[in-house]
Every structure is written in structure tokens, then in C-alpha cells.
Amino acid sequence: MIMRAGQNQPAAAREEQQKSEIPFNFTSQIVHLHKDHSLFEVGDVNRHLYLQDLYVCETDAPNPAVSVSQFACHISGCSAVFIALEEYEHHYNSLHRHVCCSCRRSLPSARLLDIHIQEWHDSLFTILAQRQDMYQCLVEGCGEKFRTSQHRKDHLVKIHKYPPDFRFDKPKKDKRAKETTRLQQKDTEMEVTEEVCDSEGVCEVLCDVLCHHPESGESMEMHVSEKEANGMTNHASGTEQSSEPPRPEYFNRVPRTVCFGHGSVRGFRGRRGRRK
């Protein structure tokens, strides 16, 4: 294939290029194809079918021959693939929006995630809960607080008519170490898969994949470890930041919606970061 590169680039880009490295490099190109190029394969075959008197003009395929492009979840480690955009959206919204970075549980809403993190991973909460009613009612607007999760559960069942086995109110089985190491922790895996969230099978997959993390240089884990060493809390992959300029609001939010388990400001792991 022989390309002829063009000189076109958006004017804005040309200016910026002088200022900083921009990663965009599209150029319009004319493509010359040699006769054996793969793009010509089907047409060549048809040509020879015709020469050999085997060509059929009407296609005999009952279904449309062309396939529709698939969609795939962007989150590294999630290998979910979809035919329809709606399926993708549903997947993403269900599994990747409200994920706890510490234990990788997926919660159905931001509020439940907040509550989960507070109750499961906030040591301050644990301390305060010894003296005051800290367990909030899960129903938004209710405002009631309780001394133990059992009390809350009773309240939910009695007053709000929740099922007694409501999935998003499972109490923590045991206290976990603050500096939880993520890698290859069988206990963690088991624990998580027991306490499964709504999208059961996929949540397991999510956790499983993240546990067997690839060792490549670009992996979140390694990258973030460096940052942790520098006492940083932002995580933006691929970008090096030596200082902490105030980031726009949604940028801090990014790690809250998507979880890799490391370097996210969403949730606590010992002293690594404090939620605002």
C-alpha cells in the first residue's frame, strides 16, 4: 500500500503543536493498492468465479451478508462485547458507574455506593459508630439512623417493607486489614463472590479479572504504585503529573464512577486518600 500524505491539519492543532505535544495525527491520505491487496480479495474471487462460469449474480445468502460493528466495554479488564448500543449502555451503567474501589463491589446507585464505602471502608465511621447512630436508612429522604446494621435492617423490613434478604444491605462479615493487598488474594475473591451484587455473574468476572492483573508496564497497578509513593491521589492513566493542579470537578469524579481498585479517591485504603 502506498500512501500519499497530505499536509492538512486543523489550524488550531498546528498552533497548539508548537505549544505542547498533541497526540492527534490524522492526515488525509490517498491510498494506492497493489493488485494482491487483501481489500481486493473478494472482488478477485468473484472475477474468477465469473471466468469459470460459477458466478451467481443474486447473492444466495438468506441473511444480510454484512455484519454490524460490535461495541465493547472500554474498561480495561472487562471483556464484555455487545451487538446493540443499548446493551453496552446498560452494562456500563450497571457495572462500572458505582463501583467501590476497595472491594470492587458494584452498587446500583451513587448513594448506595457512598453508604457502602462509609460503612465498610471508613475507619472513622467504625470509631464513631461505637458511640452514635451511624447506620443510615437506605431509603432516600428517610433520614433515620441506627446503631447497628441489624437495627437498620429491621427498620427497612418493618417500616419500608424491604425484603429481609435485600442484597445491598449485607453486613460486613469481618474487618479487613487496612492495607489490603489485592493481588491473588483468594480470600478476597471468595468473599466478594459470596456477597454478590445485582449483576451477579459479570460482577464476579469483573473482580476476577482485576485480581489477575496483567504485569504490563501500562497496568494501572504499577502506575499508581509510583504515584502512591509520591503521596498523590489522582490517577489519570497515561499522564504524568508532578503537581496537583486543581482539577475540574468531574475529573475527580472519574475515579468514583469507574473503579480499578487503585489510586482512586473513591473509598479508603488506609492512608491513601481521603474523600472530600
Partner 1 sequence: MENSDRSQMWRLTRLRHKNGKQIASCSEEMRVKRRENEKALRQARRDRQLVSKRLLLNEDEDISMETIPADQDVVSLLHKLQHSGPERETHLKALSKALRDSSAQLTFVNQENSMHLLVSFLTGSNTQCRLHAIRCLHELSHSPHPSVAPTCLPATSYLLTYLSGQSTKFTELCLYTLGNLIPDSDVVKEKLLAQGIIPALASCIENQRHHLAVVEAASFTLSQLLQAKDAAETIMSKVLVSTLPSQLLSVLTPDPQFGLAPAIECAWCLHYMACSQNGKELLACGALSKCSSLLWSLGCAVREGNQDEGLELLVCPLLRCVGNLLSFCPANSLTDQVGDVKLVVALSAFVQAYIHSRPALARESAWVLNNLTAHSTDFCSALLTHNLVPALIQSLAFSEGINTMILRVLANIANKKKEFCVELVQQGLLSSLCATLKMADAEMVTLSLEVLFMLVSSSPQVTEEFVRLNGVSLLEAIQYNSEGEMRRRAAYLLEHHLVFTSSSCTTKT
Residues in region 17-36 near partner 1 by CB under 8 A: 22-36
SS3 39: helix
| Contact between 46 and partner 1 per CB under 8 A | yes
State the number of binding residues for partner 1 (CB under 8 A): 80
Residue among 209, 210, 127, 133 at smallest CA distance from 175:
127
The Cα 34–Cα 20 span in angstroms is 38
The contact mask relative to partner 1 for 256-275 (x = CB under 8 A, - = no) is -xx-x---------------
Region near partner 1 per CB under 8 A, out of 41-49, 155-163, 190-198, 203-211: 41-49
| Contact between 229 and partner 1 per CB under 8 A | no
- Whose Cβ is closer to partner 1: residue 76's or residue 126's? 76
DSSP 194-227: HS--SSHHHHHHHHHHHHS----TT-HHHHHHHH
| Contact between 180 and partner 1 per CB under 8 A | no
| Contact between 166 and partner 1 per CB under 8 A | no
Residue among 273, 192, 190 at smallest CA distance from 227:
273
Per-residue cell: 184 = 491473588
Closest approach of partner 1 to the CB of residue 121, in Å: 20
Closest approach of partner 1 to the CB of residue 160, in Å: 23
Region near partner 1 per CB under 8 A, out of 2-10, 186-194, 205-213, 223-231: 2-10
| Contact between 177 and partner 1 per CB under 8 A | no
Burial class of 113 by CB neighbour count within 10 A (0 to 12, 13 to 18, 19+): buried
| Contact between 62 and partner 1 per CB under 8 A | no
Residue among 236, 239, 222, 241 at smallest CA distance from 264:
236
Which residues 66-125 are close enough to bind partner 1 by CB under 8 A? Answer: 66-72, 74-77, 81, 85, 88, 92, 96, 110
| Contact between 218 and partner 1 per CB under 8 A | yes
| Contact between 246 and partner 1 per CB under 8 A | no
Closest approach of partner 1 to the CB of residue 112, in Å: 13
Region near partner 1 per CB under 8 A, out of 135-143, 160-168, 196-204, 244-252: 244-252
| Contact between 212 and partner 1 per CB under 8 A | no
* DSSP conformational letter for 169: G
| Contact between 4 and partner 1 per CB under 8 A | yes
Residue among 191, 139, 168, 180 at smallest CA distance from 268:
180
- CA atoms within a 13 Å half-sphere pointing along the CA-CB vector of 4: 4
- Whose Cβ is closer to partner 1: residue 82's or residue 125's? 82
The phi and psi torsions of 38 (rounded to 5 degrees) equal: -65, -25
Per-residue cell: 185 = 488474594
| Contact between 141 and partner 1 per CB under 8 A | no
- Whose Cβ is closer to partner 1: residue 201's or residue 248's? 248
Task: Determine the Cα angle at 238 with ends 108 and 203, to 5°.
Answer: 25
| Contact between 57 and partner 1 per CB under 8 A | yes
The 10 Å Cβ neighbour count of residue 202 is: 17
